[in-house]
Amino acid sequence: KPKCYPLHSVVLLTILILAFFGYGFLSSRHLMPAGVRAGHSVAVRDPDGWQVVTLSRMLYPQPMVLTPSRSDALTVTPWLAPIIWEGTFNIDLLNEQFWLQNLTVGLTVFAVKKYMVFLKAFLETAEQHFMVGHHVTYYVFTDRPADVPHVLLKEGRQLVVLSVRSYARWQDVSMHRMEMISNFSEQRFRHEVDYLVCSDVDMKFWDHVGVEILSPLFGTLHPAFYTANRKAFTYERRRRSQAYIPWDEGDFYYIGAFFGGSVAEVQQLTSACHQAMMVDKAKGIEAVWHDESHLNKYLLHHKPTKVLSPEYLWGDWLLDWHPVLKKLRFVTVPKNRQKIRNP
């Protein structure tokens, strides 16, 4: 005669067995596939969603606790975000980590009206220096899609043309950039890329710009103000504007030509800036440096998780190359600004 057990006892025993084996499978110590040999690289996710990356054996100089990589420049903010200078990172280590995660980086650029003349050089130099070896999608916003130049792209990289309307003033084009990036982030970018980098088009990449810049939210120090006192920053000082920053506040002055982060963070930033500009417009006021003023207000209250040094954006109008700059990676293109900005 078979033994009969109470139903609740059977259920309890089943739960205990599932819990025991489930823990073994879900524990981060058991996430590596059995077929992966010791020392091989693998990227997996633990139950909390964090990325667990096991690097392959690599040889590189040992970091020394009492020997800072840079002693001539600030390398970490008061809120413990790294400031990225040449010599503060090992690109081989970083590349290995990002390759294992199989991430895609989106790069947005606006080539509207006569600014189309800069697009070919921008894309060609990006192919040489931007996120080399990684998956990249170039998002070109333009009112002249037929004029987008053909540029030979490496494997794993693609170009997407997004048609947008033009505006009478270059200031309006610049400010509506925030609105368009926000809308496309919500509708499209979040489904296609992991990180979003937003750049001006009148630029050329001169040297390596890679995954060392990637972070949930990054901003770039303006090359004209990285040594200045906050009272010299060209923040919006009128209280009526949503971009207003008092004289006794401010960490750094960030340039509007190069910022980014995860798609979710960029969508939040651009949406907030656009909404603030709409409030200003209803009041009949326009921030002194347009979208850049609103970007600085946002980054004051939403601290970036990485800050890029002026090595990552240098102006052609700046003749003094300070010794602290070991490399110039991304620079503006010399031009007749007044002629280009006029229709």
Task: Supply the residues annotated as catalytic.
Answer: 292
Separation of alpha carbons 91 and 106, rounded Å: 20
Separation of alpha carbons 285 and 270, rounded Å: 19
Annotation-wise, does 234 bind a ligand?
Answer: yes
**Rounded to 5°, angle at Cα 82 from 93 and 215:** 65
Separation of alpha carbons 161 and 138, rounded Å: 8
Annotation-wise, does 201 bind a ligand?
Answer: yes
Number of residues in the chain: 343
Annotation-wise, does 222 bind a ligand?
Answer: yes
Which residue is associated with the tokens 């020392």?
Answer: 39
- Give buried/exposed letters for 52-68 (b at 16+ CB in 10 A, else e): eeeeeeeeeeeeeeeee
3-class SS of residue 236: strand
Annotation-wise, does 88 bind a ligand?
Answer: no
Annotation-wise, does 112 bind a ligand?
Answer: yes
Which residue intervals of the chain are DSSP H helices?
Answer: 7-26, 91-101, 119-129, 170-184, 190-192, 263-283, 290-301, 337-341
Q: How are strands ordered across the β-sheet holding 195-199?
A: 83-84, 306-308, 217-220, 258-262, 195-199, 104-111, 135-142, 157-163
Q: What Cα–Cα distance (Å) separates residue 280 from each residue in 132, 155, 183, 189, 287?
A: 40, 44, 20, 28, 8
Separation of alpha carbons 87 and 59, rounded Å: 17
Q: What is the Cβ-side half-sphere exposure of residue 198, based on CA atoms within 13 angstroms?
A: 30
3-class SS of residue 269: helix
Q: Bridge-partner residues for 104, per DSSP?
A: 135
Annotation-wise, does 194 bind a ligand?
Answer: no
Q: What is the Cβ-side half-sphere exposure of residue 133, based on CA atoms within 13 angstroms?
A: 13
Known binding positions for Mn(2+): 200, 202
Known binding positions: 110-112, 115, 200-202, 222, 234, 292
Known binding positions for UDP-N-acetyl-alpha-D-galactosamine: 110-112, 115, 200-202
